[in-house]
Chains A and B, each alone.
Chain A
Amino acid sequence: MSDFLLQLALALDAMFRVATPLILCAMAGIFSERSGIIDISLEGKMLAGAFAAGAVAALTGSPWAGLGAAIIVSILLGLLHGFACITHRGNQVISGLAINILASALAIVLGIALFRQGGQTPSLGQSERFRPIELPFAEALQNVPVLGMIYSEIVSGHNLLVYVALAAVPITAWVLFKTSFGLRIRAVGEAPEAVDSAGISVYLLRYRAVIIAGLLCGIAGAYLSIAHGGAFIRDMSAGKGYIALAAVIFGKWRPMAALFACLLFGFLEAVTARLQGVELPIIGEAPVEFMLAAPYILTVILLAGFIGSAIPPREIGEPYPKEK
């Protein structure tokens, strides 16, 4: 029994680590999509951010410089998406896909050119990464039953960016629902003509949304290469951007619900890693492949209308102004 509890604690601990980039990207996706811009390029922005962070941290020795570089690169890609979709009214899915392909290929080309390690960036030393942080009293509370264990084993001991991701959720919720900026973001995804006739620029609002999305994806990228990992590895985002997008839809474009979707998906992945090849009672060998596919299957089931309906912002994917 205690063995099971330990395993569960380890899985929950891993859940947070796995879910962190999902949460950051999901919040990015919520900002972008609430404003009416489909953001399939979460993946590409995160990957480009991961490369920039790994490269700059390796070159400067500073994780903060790496984080800054990741954010800047990711925002620039966000602006590129905006330039294509907002200013030039391009197709948002195509633009997003193009950015994903560009990021994946460019990271490898630049990586080989800079470091000659087959597209990777050099392994980073401890001081060049974001290290786990022991929260206050974690040591002291270690032996308090249940709560103490949860605090010290699961909540404490993550790197800074994990906590940033967790903080991003209530902040996103607050901005969206308690500020005038959030009101406008939500309005511009539902009825841009109403925003326009109220004398507010639809373009500027949407650009601000994609910049915020870029910022959050940049942090997610830095997390992958200089916090969770110790170097950039080619294609290390491995579809997390798409899972985050699934979480956005699964959470019906609401920050808290999307957080739970990310944690669920993260938990599934964390457990999967532990159950590889393990014989379970009754069901036999753990259905690892099924569990990895679960986020997508759940999202498809949701979209098919079996668990409530996911109604996207009304004008998502539509350029403004529409054809006259």
Chain B
Amino acid sequence: MAKNKKKDGASAPSLALSLSGISKSFGPVHANRDVALDVHKGSIHGIIGENGAGKSTLMNILYGLYSADAGQIAIDGKPVRIASSSDAIAHGIGMVHQHFMLVKTFTVLENVMLGAEKGFQLDSSVEATRAQLKKMGDEYGLSVDPDTLISDLPVGLQQRVEILKALRGANILILDEPTGVLTPQETQGLFEILRALRDEGTTILFITHKLHEIMALTDRVSVMRQGEMVAHRETAKTDMEELAQLMVGRKVLLQVERTKVEAGEPVLQVRDLEYVDAAGVKRVDGLSFDVRAGELLSVAGVAGNGQTELLYMLSGILAPTGGSIEIGGAKVTADNPVDAAHMRDLGVSHVPEDRHNRGLVLPFDAKENSILGHHNDRELGGLLFDRAAIAERATRQVTEFDVRPPNIDLRAAQFSGGNQQKLVLAREIDAAPSLLLIGQPTRGVDIGAIEFIYSRLMEMRAAGCAILLVSVELEEVMSLSDRILVMMDGRQIGIVDRDAADENMLGLMMAGVSSEKAA
């Protein structure tokens, strides 16, 4: 590791890394377009951008996992060619990946050793690695028991092992969204380690979409948007607002525009609804509420308090074990269950909480995903699909919901989280439901897409659709709802009007305090 502390005073600081003209396309998608980046030696350089802005692609190019279509990379002023990760390692680049690159069944020691063995027999490598681990532990507080299996370590320590691996002989350390899996305390610990490494002369590239991390940690920051590098700033000379604007390219609307909508007749009537699971645990316990046309009812609560089971019963995935659900003239009870397809026919659309497992078939392309559950529609052909009609429907959905890239032949897995959510939303809203069920609509979704999703929900509400939103984000609940139902332990703690509620009161209710007392 280079120990050359930067203290060059007046002279221009030297560049550890310089990228210019980097471009990369995946089929028709421009993931990176003419990207330039200069990173000063011994600094922490943040790269911020929304999901799908091309940050990870750029880093994967730098680490040799993808090859760029065009562009130059220079390290310490010398142009280099990085065709594989072994090239990158040889040039002193180490990377901590978003998804850990660890062998779970190996010990910490074996993982750190892998790829950096000293010879054919392991004995000498084992000793050397053990000594090196101890040294890193002493110097940077990167201590971890070398003989523990990775699968027995908490996520924070697994990441520490990743850092230890990446640091073998590296002068430039890339961290790709490293805090996504960490608790706030672990994040603080990581930041301290990174600062210690910087002070020892390591250059750090820190990729994130969280503004406060950029402000807390970095010396300089570059902003990416839609595959392009849009700005470079010194962190001390910018602020979160400016960065947020640069990220999304326009003024962020923090306030949702709500129009006054007169609520109509009840669309959904739930009475004494109960669900007991296979293990005999009562997951939902006596819910009674209505959702009226043009009304948005939120179900708030700490995750895992029966919200998921409620959504599943309302969408027909689970049959209730007690009580009733009235929707579109049908009455669903334990004796008269209705499956998900029938619920759809009754005018219920469902944007599930877990879009990867319940909302999309990831290996299917966007046009196939656009007709999931609607494959029997007459306009799509009878026994044989009318391909043109499917493409037309998919194109309409993708255009209306501004899915990026607007390519209906791309597999669902190839879209970013926010755009996957838009695909699901587009399909469900396209069915013109009378009741829209929507779970955690903005989980793993970037700011731009959140804003879009909120405004579409408000449009649906204005058009007279009844909406039931399940969310653990209080801010989201507060800004969207007309009324809020709080659940705890499967029970209904209370229903309050949005205007009569505040976050403090909802927090108390989520802990089980009744609405009268909480108010």
Residues of A within 8 A of B (CB): 178-184, 186-187, 190-191, 193-200, 314, 323-324
Contacts and interface: CB of A to CB of B under 8 A. Distances in A.
A191 B102 contact: yes
B122 interface: yes
B103 A194 contact: yes
Contacts of A180: 113, 117, 119-122, 125
Given A180-B120, A187-B110, A197-B97, 16 more contacts: A179-B121, A180-B119, A183-B114, A186-B106, A190-B103, A190-B106, A191-B102, A193-B101, A194-B103, A196-B85, A197-B63, A197-B95, A198-B101, A199-B86, A200-B114, A200-B115
B113 to A, nearest CB: 7
Nearest to A199: B86
A314 B104 contact: yes
Interface string B69-104: 000000000000000111111100001010101111
B211 interface: no
Contacts of B97: 197
A183 B110 contact: yes
B414 interface: yes
A12 B26 CA distance: 62
Given A180-B119, A199-B89, A314-B104, A194 B111 contact: yes
A289 B374 CA distance: 54
A195 B413 contact: no
A314 B88 CA distance: 27
Contacts of B103: 186-187, 190-191, 194
Counting from the closest, the 10 A-B pairs by CB-CB distance are A198-B115, A199-B86, A180-B117, A194-B101, A197-B101, A199-B89, A191-B103, A199-B85, A190-B103, A187-B103
B101, B119, B123, B414 — most chain A CB neighbours (10 Å): B101
A214 to B, nearest CB: 21
Contacts of B122: 178-180, 182-183
B65 A197 contact: yes
A187 B122 CA distance: 14
B162 to A, nearest CB: 10
B87, B103, B414 — most chain A CB neighbours (10 Å): B103
B413 A324 contact: yes
A190 B104 contact: yes
A190 B97 CA distance: 17
Contacts of A323: 363, 411, 413
B86, B99, B119, B413 — most chain A CB neighbours (10 Å): B86
A103 to B, nearest CB: 33
A324 B29 CA distance: 14
A199 B115 contact: yes
Contacts of B414: 324
B132 interface: no
B105 A199 contact: no
A11 B440 CA distance: 67
A191 B125 contact: no
A200 B86 CA distance: 7
14 contacts: A179-B122, A180-B120, A183-B114, A183-B122, A191-B104, A194-B101, A195-B115, A197-B63, A197-B101, A199-B85, A199-B87, A199-B89, A200-B114, A323-B411
Contacts of B128: none
A179 B114 contact: no
A273 to B, nearest CB: 40
Contacts of B115: 184, 195, 198-200
Contacts of A182: 122
Given A180-B122, A183-B117, A183-B122, A198 B104 contact: no
B89 A187 contact: no
